Structure 1
Amino acid sequence: MASGSLFLSLRRSKLGSLCALEKWKPVRFLSSGGALRSASEFHEEEELNTKENEDDLKSRIFRLRLPKRSVTNVIDKWVGEGNTVSSSELRHISKELRKSHRFKHALEISEWMVTHEEFQLLDSDYASRIDLMTKVFGVDAAERYFDGLPLTAKTTETYTALLHSYAAAKLIERAEEFYERIKGSNLSFTALMYNEMMTLYMSAGQLEKVSLVVEELKRQNVAPDIFTYNLWISSCAAALNIDQVRRILDEMSEDSGANDDWMRYIKIANIYVTAGHLVNAESNAAAVVETEKRITQREWITYDFLVILYAGLGNKDKIDQIWKSLRMTNQKMTSRNYVCVLSSYLMLGHLKEVGEIIDQWKQSTTTDFDISACSRLLDAISGLGLTEIANNFHMLLIERNCDPTNISE
């Protein structure tokens, strides 16, 4: 979900990940001049000097494992050798670098394109640059870059990118000021921009402001998406405003943009709101599962939704009970189940449980993996600085042939 709903590793090559997991100690090598070099530097130079069967620009750039190595020099050398490079190729390489959390190298590609006027920059290039500058140099640098852009480059995408930077850093006042500035820009915005503000307010516990954002979205005749509704419902559930949840579900069912997933979401939500599972303090999660052992795997998503709602309520005990009960059934767990409960524990800040769930996942026989969801979860764990847990999770994905760093979107 775009920010959405309640929801950010160093991704490495397989060899890099294995080394990190084993906590290897750097070996030092003597260069021909007698200077000490790290193992990483030694292997990097060795790779650069080795003639590969397939030599292309992306391969050369990805051999630069150390952030201090210059991507600009690699591109200049590639072009100097008489090779051509296109903007689409550079964008693709930058995207792959971002997926691997090699933000500095991705930013260098952006800078190289800026300095070569033959490359016409798109709105998405400016937006990407704002995001990369935030990650490499911080929000202030991204803000200065945005302010210095020509008016033609201050588009829906760049405005939304900077707003995302403020929201991700939980800079509420600056985000609110910029949000007001956006509303006065006379540009057309999608639900994504409003979702950013809703996510910020959810993360800050300012639930009452979420509905205000929805009201503004409707005043501007912007069509809400599934993430908008999810955030709105979650804020009402967290405030125990179940009547409002029902009204939102009714509105969703009348939305002309509803699809099969959308309608399934509504059905699931109605099951729990109507049955009172969300607010009934006497309900026992184990009993709920016991009475529905015959449910199909497809219907089992209802329990994922219940976990999310309890996460919105901040009720860890209920999440613990549901998870324990689900593990006791004879149904086979899916990656969706694991991603759901891990996301909930991350949102509530229960990091010990995150590590435990990943250990349980490693011991399971689960074979289905949602690459996109696992990639976002890996980003979220890494973004919180949980390096050891992130490495453990990354290793699980590698073992199951589901390494997000090797998947091209």
Structure 2
Amino acid sequence: MRSKGHALQSLPFNVMMTLYMNLKEYDKVDSIISEMMEKNIQLDIYSYNIWLSSRGSQGSEERMEQVFEQMKPDRTVNPNWTTFSMMATMYIKMGQLEKAEACLKKVESRITGRDRIPYHYLLSLCASYIKDGDFEKAQSFYDRMVDVGGKPNSSTWETLAEGHIKEQRISEALSCWKEAFSAEGSKSWRPKPVNASAFLELCEQEANSVSKELFMGLLKQSGQRKNKSYASLIGLADEDVSDDDLSLKKDRTNITKDDDDEKEAVAGCMQVEKLEVPSYQSEFRWQDYSAEEYLGNWRD
């Protein structure tokens, strides 16, 4: 593409950086940025967002902030909610919750009209506060987001239930479970076995058989009786349980909160980039090329 004169604008560079991000070849992202600067090719908002994501994915708080500082005086770009939600996701992953909250406040101020996608990033901070044992701050932040239009999904309700379980508040946890099972899209959601088990164990410790039965009823009504991962919790015999594609095979001791947080952080960043990339399609249908074809064209 270089020899054919196509690599004169940011678009092909952004596409290549997105590819390298997917391959986790972050050093090549830096190389492309350097090439753009050497050739005086203007970085656009997508270039900066990908560059920020690359630095954050490497766990480098300082280097990510260096990119943002370089971005601020650039009058050709204006940091958007994608920029700050991506940075917040990275800060959460690094355990920098105060910086994450500061970014999410900037996200909040940039939400316009009926665009509710950013709230998924705002609500994600609750899980990190609960993980750190700061449930009151998690609840306060959650309440504020709901007040300004955020819509919690089943996973968010489960996260709040997890916090109440840690605080040994059975009735509050059960209330969150009920919301989780009735929330929009709950049919494609299942509670994590480790959380379900923790709630039932708490009920047994407190001799709260009523809450225990109500929760098991929720599991049964939602169809979890067909899943072997929940069979022992509900009290069904093996012959009463059928295997299906939804069955969770992992041992619940291997399902750690850190793993979940990391997956959510990475997923959040990639969702951000996927939301932004389609605007390129009117300029250049790069999605018609395979990775091998595109790399070949790039190197020619």
Per the TM alignment, residue 79 of structure 1 is displaced from its structure 2 partner at its CA by 0.8
Equivalent position to 2:203, from 276, 279, 302: 279
Q: 1:333 to 1:157 in 2, by over 3 A?
A: same
Q: Given residue 195 of structure 1, which amino acid in structure 2 is its aligned partner?
A: L
Q: Secondary structure of the residue that 1:240 maps to in structure 2?
A: coil
Q: 1:333 to 1:199 in 2, by over 3 A?
A: same
Q: Given residue 140 of structure 1, which amino acid in structure 2 is its aligned partner?
A: E
The whole-number CA distance in structure 1 between the counterparts of 2:149 and 2:83 is 21
Per the TM alignment, residue 200 of structure 1 is displaced from its structure 2 partner at its CA by 1.9
Q: Given residue 82 of structure 2, which amino acid in structure 1 is its aligned partner?
A: E
Equivalent position to 1:227, from 132, 149, 155: 155
Equivalent position to 1:171, from 96, 99, 105: 96
Q: 1:237 to 1:118 in 2, by over 3 A?
A: same
8 A contact 2:158–2:177 mirrored in 1: no
The whole-number CA distance in structure 2 between the counterparts of 1:170 and 1:149 is 24
- Any unmatched runs of 5+ in structure 1? 1-77, 284-294, 308-320, 350-372, 381-404
Q: Is residue 2:173 matched to residue 1:248?
A: no
The whole-number CA distance in structure 2 between the counterparts of 1:248 and 1:153 is 39
* Aligned residue number for residue 30 of structure 2: 107
Alignment TM-score, normalising by the size of structure 1: 0.45
The whole-number CA distance in structure 1 between the counterparts of 2:6 and 2:170 is 60
Any residues of structure 2 matched to 1:80-159 within 5 Å, and which?
A: 80=3, 82=4, 84-85=6-7, 90-113=13-36, 121-122=44-45, 124-136=46-58, 138-150=60-72, 152-159=77-84
| Greater RCO structure (CA 8 Å; 6+ sep) | 1
The whole-number CA distance in structure 2 between the counterparts of 1:146 and 1:205 is 30
Q: Matched residue pairs, number?
A: 244
Equivalent position to 1:347, from 257, 268, 271: 257
8 A contact 2:164–2:173 mirrored in 1: yes
Q: 1:120 to 1:133 in 2, by over 3 A?
A: closer
8 A contact 1:98–1:106 mirrored in 2: yes
Write out per-residue CA displacement over residues 170-206 of structure 1, whole angstroms, 9 at most, x where no aligned residue. Answer: 12343345555x27x7311722332342132133222
Q: Secondary structure of the residue that 2:151 maps to in structure 1?
A: coil
Q: 1:230 to 1:104 in 2, by over 3 A?
A: farther
Per the TM alignment, residue 244 of structure 1 is displaced from its structure 2 partner at its CA by 2.0
Q: 1:129 to 1:212 in 2, by over 3 A?
A: same
Identical residues among aligned pairs (%)? 9
Q: Secondary structure of the residue that 1:210 maps to in structure 2?
A: helix
Equivalent position to 1:338, from 249, 255, 260: 249
The whole-number CA distance in structure 1 between the counterparts of 2:56 and 2:157 is 28
The whole-number CA distance in structure 1 between the counterparts of 2:47 and 2:239 is 49
The whole-number CA distance in structure 2 between the counterparts of 1:134 and 1:175 is 12
Write out per-residue CA displacement over residues 91-132 of structure 1, whole angstroms, 9 at most, x where no aligned residue. Answer: 44433432332111133334445665666724x443222121
Q: Is residue 2:126 matched to residue 1:198?
A: yes
* Aligned residue number for residue 286 of structure 2: none
Q: Given residue 89 of structure 2, which amino acid in structure 1 is its aligned partner?
A: H
Query: Which has a greater percent of helix?
Result: 2
The whole-number CA distance in structure 2 between the counterparts of 1:341 and 1:147 is 43
Q: Secondary structure of the residue that 2:248 maps to in structure 1?
A: helix
The whole-number CA distance in structure 2 between the counterparts of 1:175 and 1:215 is 17
Q: Given residue 187 of structure 2, which amino acid in structure 1 is its aligned partner?
A: D
* Aligned residue number for residue 398 of structure 1: none
Equivalent position to 1:236, from 150, 159, 164: 164
The whole-number CA distance in structure 2 between the counterparts of 1:342 and 1:96 is 34
The whole-number CA distance in structure 1 between the counterparts of 2:32 and 2:156 is 34
The whole-number CA distance in structure 1 between the counterparts of 2:61 and 2:257 is 23
* Aligned residue number for residue 162 of structure 1: 87
- Any unmatched runs of 5+ in structure 2? 209-219, 268-290, 293-300
The whole-number CA distance in structure 1 between the counterparts of 2:161 and 2:257 is 16
Any residues of structure 2 matched to 1:345-384 within 5 Å, and which?
A: 346-347=256-257, 376=263
Alignment TM-score, normalising by the size of structure 2: 0.59
Per the TM alignment, residue 143 of structure 1 is displaced from its structure 2 partner at its CA by 1.5
Q: Is residue 2:170 matched to residue 1:259?
A: no
8 A contact 2:154–2:185 mirrored in 1: no
8 A contact 1:131–1:162 mirrored in 2: yes
The whole-number CA distance in structure 2 between the counterparts of 1:343 and 1:326 is 24
Which one has the largest radius of gyration? Answer: 1
Q: Secondary structure of the residue that 2:134 maps to in structure 1?
A: coil
Per the TM alignment, residue 303 of structure 1 is displaced from its structure 2 partner at its CA by 6.0
